[in-house]
Structures are given as structure tokens and as C-alpha cells.
């Protein structure tokens, strides 16, 4: 009842004001986007469905392709003007049977560790690997120890998350090198396997997976991440017995590449249908938890931002397009392919905005574009209610929209939610629907809808 009367009110409002560029109209429209989102909680409803129906959406999995079909149907059900798929070949890595690791403590008792193989890791032999552990605190230390100390051992990179950064993404960028580059760095000096302390902010027992990058011309070795609690347990064991051995078993396999899809839905522009404004997130997720924050939330926020504008009777000047990218996690093939198609088809993109930093209260929008544009857009902050988007800053798009910037110089951007909790959940079994707060999620939807509304109204 409330919703219906709101929509009627706004349709009347639109007809009267014809979306003049008066600040009052924009401010009022955006206020109502937030109120409607917080009241109806529709993003929360569809995110729950996505997470519960298709919790596992790693590239190559049936779960991902089922989610592709489901999100396509969802947008078709909303009567978007066009809903279609884009073919994308993606890597197909599987974890296989659950990995395991243990050591014997000083009393001879077997201590199991909470562990996840890193994405792309090769398997251990079927019997597993047992070897002495050599603990290091950094990549540099591996090189310093050299072949003499490393050869034949399992390198354990025990580097805590760089907590002192206020934005956890900066701490992540600093710390994640041990995950991406650690295994090959260890292999260079003859390590037989590599385990790392999880790149996560919480002091808990969830291991964090994520991609490693095998360097060319270096033997590939199995690699996994320990939960922070398990990392501390192992650290303490090594203090008692520096000769401790670790048993590690990983059952992964890499299969031939497989066909996946970007899922696209759009509402055609009434004045300049050839001009495109993109919002999106990535539909694939690591094969643990439900990919709720990373990035089911970004996908559902993008779909529901468009849905909300549609329901409010808004007729865009330009074409508004949702893109749910495939394969962000272990390849970024979806984002790259999208930019390729856009280039090949000479599509005219005004702007692309991504949500891939968790379903937390939005605080800023980061823009990667010319300084003059960023300066202009900074003034739009006046249209946002207090305690929603606090600032619009020079920043980056996410990894799925950046290829569009590289390929065609399209300005791109990202929704920047509060970052304190993101790396508690990132790439873990804890990244489930229940870890998402409905109001925070909806604030993200409203922020995206509001921002693309402004781009559509005021131009870029």
C-alpha cells in the first residue's frame, strides 16, 4: 500500500516537474530512493534467494550457470527492455574433497588445522605431503633464507594482516602479496609446499581462500591458507619445536576451460538509447560460503537499483544497463570480455559503476576518470542525504569495469562501503546471507540507483 502510493506520488511528481535540473527535484528524488529501499527491502529478499538457491558459484561450476539462468529470468520477470547473455570462456578449477593439514604437538597429539587450498593450487600427491616447516614473516625472508634452508621443506608465511590502515583494502593490498606470490617465491628455493596465514582481519577460525599466481618457469607447488587461529597455533608449536613437520593434503584439479556468461539487462534510454550507463557486480564467487558479500550483494544491488528506478516510474534519458560479470575471482574473464565486446560493437559507454566491496553502509563513490570530471561530480554530494554517501572522490572502478576504462577510456567507478568488516568474511565459509545486514545492503542499492540517476540527469 505504502509502496504503491509512493510510486503514484512520484509518477505525478515526474509529470509535473519533468525532471528539471533544479537541485530540489534531485534531492527529493534521491531521498525517496533511500526511503523506498529501506522500507521495501527488496534487495534483501532477492539476495537471500540467490544465496540459498546457488550458494556455490565458482567459475566452471553448475551453480554459477544455474545462477546465470536465474538472474536472467529475474530480470525478464521485471520486464526490462533487453535481457541477454554474453558468452565468456572461463577457467575451471575444482577444490575436490576437503583439504586437510595437521601436525603433532609436543605431547605427540595430532593437531588439525583449519585450512583452505588457494585457488589454482595444484593437488598434493594422493598420500599428501609431510615435511619440516620453515616459518617466515615475509617474502623477503624466503629469499634471504635461500635454497639451503628452504629446499625440501614446507614454507609457512606467517604474516599478520596490516591492521593499521583505516581502509582495510589498503591493508589487504599490502598483505595479499603473500598469497599471490608466496607459493612461487617458496618454490624458487625448492619448497615442496607453501602455507600462509589467511589474509583476513578477524581473529577467528575461518580460513580465507583466494587466487595464487604461479610464476612462469618455477615449479608449481601446492598451497593453502590457515585460519588466523590455526596460524597462531602453528606459530606456538614451532616455538616449542622448531623441527615440527606439517602434513598437507590438497585434492584440487584444473579442468579444461568452460563456457560461462555475463548476464545483462537494460532499460532503454528515451532520448539517447545508444548511450549506456552500466552498473554491476560479479556473479561468480569462491566455492565456500555463499558469496553473499562477495559479490552476490553487488549483483542484487545492481539489479534492484534498476528495478527501483523502473518502479518509481523513472524514464531514463540514456540506456541503463546492469551487467553481472562472470569469473571475477579467478580470471577476470567476464570483465575483460565485456570490454572487448563493447569495443568491437562500438558501444558508447558514458560510465560504469561497480559494487564489489561488500554489503556494508556506503560511504563514498570513487571515480576513475579525468580530473575535471571528478571535480564536477564531487559537487553532486549535495544531493545525498546525511549519513549516506559522504564523499565522491578520485578512485578506481572495480576489477570488472576497469577493462572498459583501459579499452575505451570510459570513466568508471566503484561504490565504497565502510570497509571495517569486509575482510572478516572475504573468501570464507562465513560469507553467507546471514552475515549481511538488510539495511546496510539496501543503503548500497539506493546509493547506486541515486548515482546513476544523477549521471543520467546531469551528464558526465
Q: Contact between 164 and a copy of itself (CB under 8 A)?
A: yes
Report the first-to-last Cα separation within the chain, whole angstroms: 36
Q: Contact between 302 and a copy of itself (CB under 8 A)?
A: no
How many helices (H) and strands (E) in the chain? Answer: 15, 16
Q: Which three cell numbers stand for residue 224?
A: 593453502
Q: Which of 118, 176, 353, 443 binds a copy of itself (CB under 8 A)?
A: 443
Min dist CB 28 to a copy of itself, Å, is 14
Report the run of H or E that residue 341 belongs to, with start and end: helix 333-344
Whole-angstrom distance, CA of residue 290 vs CA of residue 51? 5
The residue (of 139 and 393) whose beta carbon lies closer to a copy of itself is: 393
Nearest to 94 by CA among 69, 117, 67: 117
Interface residues for a copy of itself in 195-224 (CB under 8 A)?
201-203
Binding mask 165-184 for a copy of itself (x = CB under 8 A): xxxx----------------
The residue (of 33 and 278) whose beta carbon lies closer to a copy of itself is: 33
Q: Contact between 391 and a copy of itself (CB under 8 A)?
A: yes
The residue (of 60 and 289) whose beta carbon lies closer to a copy of itself is: 289
Q: 160 and 189 in contact (C-beta within 8 Å)?
A: no
Interface residues for a copy of itself in 22-51 (CB under 8 A)?
34-36, 38-39, 41
| Edge-to-edge order in the sheet of strand 245-249 | 110-112, 100-104, 245-249, 129-136, 154-157, 193-197, 223-226, 115-117
Q: Give the count of residues interacting with a copy of itself (CB under 8 A).
A: 34
328 belongs to the catalytic site: yes
Min dist CB 31 to a copy of itself, Å, is 9
Q: Which of 98, 147, 253, 439 binds a copy of itself (CB under 8 A)?
A: 439
Q: Which three cell numbers stand for residue 337?
A: 570480455
Q: Which of 251, 438, 458, 459 binds a copy of itself (CB under 8 A)?
A: 438
List residues bridging with 93 in a β-sheet. 254
Q: 46 and 300 in contact (C-beta within 8 Å)?
A: yes
232's CB contacts (< 8 A; 6+ apart) are none
**C-alpha 69: how far from chain center:** 20
Q: Contact between 294 and a copy of itself (CB under 8 A)?
A: no
The residue (of 329 and 442) whose beta carbon lies closer to a copy of itself is: 442
Min dist CB 203 to a copy of itself, Å, is 7
Backbone angles phi, psi at 281, to 5 degrees: -150, -175
Report the run of H or E that residue 194 belongs to, with start and end: strand 193-197
Q: Contact between 3 and a copy of itself (CB under 8 A)?
A: no
Q: 231 and 197 in contact (C-beta within 8 Å)?
A: yes
The residue (of 188 and 232) whose beta carbon lies closer to a copy of itself is: 232
Whole-angstrom distance, CA of residue 97 vs CA of residue 250? 8
| Exposure letters 15-34 (e unless 16+ CB within 10 A, then b) | eeeebeeeeebbeebbbbbb
The residue (of 197 and 261) whose beta carbon lies closer to a copy of itself is: 197
Q: 175 and 163 in contact (C-beta within 8 Å)?
A: no
Q: Contact between 137 and a copy of itself (CB under 8 A)?
A: no
The residue (of 351 and 422) whose beta carbon lies closer to a copy of itself is: 422
Task: Tell me: cis bond preceding 295? Omega within 30 of 0 counts.
Answer: yes
The residue (of 314 and 360) whose beta carbon lies closer to a copy of itself is: 360
Report the run of H or E that residue 40 belongs to, with start and end: helix 23-40
Min dist CB 202 to a copy of itself, Å, is 8
Min dist CB 288 to a copy of itself, Å, is 20
Whole-angstrom distance, CA of residue 226 vs CA of residue 355? 28
Q: Which three cell numbers stand for residue 217?
A: 618457469
Q: Contact between 52 and a copy of itself (CB under 8 A)?
A: no
Q: Which of 388, 399, 450, 457 binds a copy of itself (CB under 8 A)?
A: 388
Q: Contact between 440 and a copy of itself (CB under 8 A)?
A: yes
436's CB contacts (< 8 A; 6+ apart) are 44, 47, 292, 293, 297, 359
**Which one of the listed residues 328, 347, 440, 442 is annotated catalytic?**
328
Q: Which three cell numbers stand for residue 413?
A: 567507478
Q: Which range binds a copy of itself by CB under 8 A, 138-146, 277-285, 381-389, 452-460?
A: 381-389
Binding mask 337-376 for a copy of itself (x = CB under 8 A): ------------------------x-xx------------
Interface residues for a copy of itself in 403-432 (CB under 8 A)?
418-421, 424
Min dist CB 417 to a copy of itself, Å, is 10
Q: Which residue has the cell 532503454?
A: 268
Min dist CB 295 to a copy of itself, Å, is 20
The residue ranges that bind a copy of itself (CB under 8 A) are 34-36, 38-39, 41, 163-168, 201-203, 361, 363-364, 385-388, 390-391, 418-421, 424, 437-440, 443
Active-site residues: which are they?
328
Amino acid at each position: 500500500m505504502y509502496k504503491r502510493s509512493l510510486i503514484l506520488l512520484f509518477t505525478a511528481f515526474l509529470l509535473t516537474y519533468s525532471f528539471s535540473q533544479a537541485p530540489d527535484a534531485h534531492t527529493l528524488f534521491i531521498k525517496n530512493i533511500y526511503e523506498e529501499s529501506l522500507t521495501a527491502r527488496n534487495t534483501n529478499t532477492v539476495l537471500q534467494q540467490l544465496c540459498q538457491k546457488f550458494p556455490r558459484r565458482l567459475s566452471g561450476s553448475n551453480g554459477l550457470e544455474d545462477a546465470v539462468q536465474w538472474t536472467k529470468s529475474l530480470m525478464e520477470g521485471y520486464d526490462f527492455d533487453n535481457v541477454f547473455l554474453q558468452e565468456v570462456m572461463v577457467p575451471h578449477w575444482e577444490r575436490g574433497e576437503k583439504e586437510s593439514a595437521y601436525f603433532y604437538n609436543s605431547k605427540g597429539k595430532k593437531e588439525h588445522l583449519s585450512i583452505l587450498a588457494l585457488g589454482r593450487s595444484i593437488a598434493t600427491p594422493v598420500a599428501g605431503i609431510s615435511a619440516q616447516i620453515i616459518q617466515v614473516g615475509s617474502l623477503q625472508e624466503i629469499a634471504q633464507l635461500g635454497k639451503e634452508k628452504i629446499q625440501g621443506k614446507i614454507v609457512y608465511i606467517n604474516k599478520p594482516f596490516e591492521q593499521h590502515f583505516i581502509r582495510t583494502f589498503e591493508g589487504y593490498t599490502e598483505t595479499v602479496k603473500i598469497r599471490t606470490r608466496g607459493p612461487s617465491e617458496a618454490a624458487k628455493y625448492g619448497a615442496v609446499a607453501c602455507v600462509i596465514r589467511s589474509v583476513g582481519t578477524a581473529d577467528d577460525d575461518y580460513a580465507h581462500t583466494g587466487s595464487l599466481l604461479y610464476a612462469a618457469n618455477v615449479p608449481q607447488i601446492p598451497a593453502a591458507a590457515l585460519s588466523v587461529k590455526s596460524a597462531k597455533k602453528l606459530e606456538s608449536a614451532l616455538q616449542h619445536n622448531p623441527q615440527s613437520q606439517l602434513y598437507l593434503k590438497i585434492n584440487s584439479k584444473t579442468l579444461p576451460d568452460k563456457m560461462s556468461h555475463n548476464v545483462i539487462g537494460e532499460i532503454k534510454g528515451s532520448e539517447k538509447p545508444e548511450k549506456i550507463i552500466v552498473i554491476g557486480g560479479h556473479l561468480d564467487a569462491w566455492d565456500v560460503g555463499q558469496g553473499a558479500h562477495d559479490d552476490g550483494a553487488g549483483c542484487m544491488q545492481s539489479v534492484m537499483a534498476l528495478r527501483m528506478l523502473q518502479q518509481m516510474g523513472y524514464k531514463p534519458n540514456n540506456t541503463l544497463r546492469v551487467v553481472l560479470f562472470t569469473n571475477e575471482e579467478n580470471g577476470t574473464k567476464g570483465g575483460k570480455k565485456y570490454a572487448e565486446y563493447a569495443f568491437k560493437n562500438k558501444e558508447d559507454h558514458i560510465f560504469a559503476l561497480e559494487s564489489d566491496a561488500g554489503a556494508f553502509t556506503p560511504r563514498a563513490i570513487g571515480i576513475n576518470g579525468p580530473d575535471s570530471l571528478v571535480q564536477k561530480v564531487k559537487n553532486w554530494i549535495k544531493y545525498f542525504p546525511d549519513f549516506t554517501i559522504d564523499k565522491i572522490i578520485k578512485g578506481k572502478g572495480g576489477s570488472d569495469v576497469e577493462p572498459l576504462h583501459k579499452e575505451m577510456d570510459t570513466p568508471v567507478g566503484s561504490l565504497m562501503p565502510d570497509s571495517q568488516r569486509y575482510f572478516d568474511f572475504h573468501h570464507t565459509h562465513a560469507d553467507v546471507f546471514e552475515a549481511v545486514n538488510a539495511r546496510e545492503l539496501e543503503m548500497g542499492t539506493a546509493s547506486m540507483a541515486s548515482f546513476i540517476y544523477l549521471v543520467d540527469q546531469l551528464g558526465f
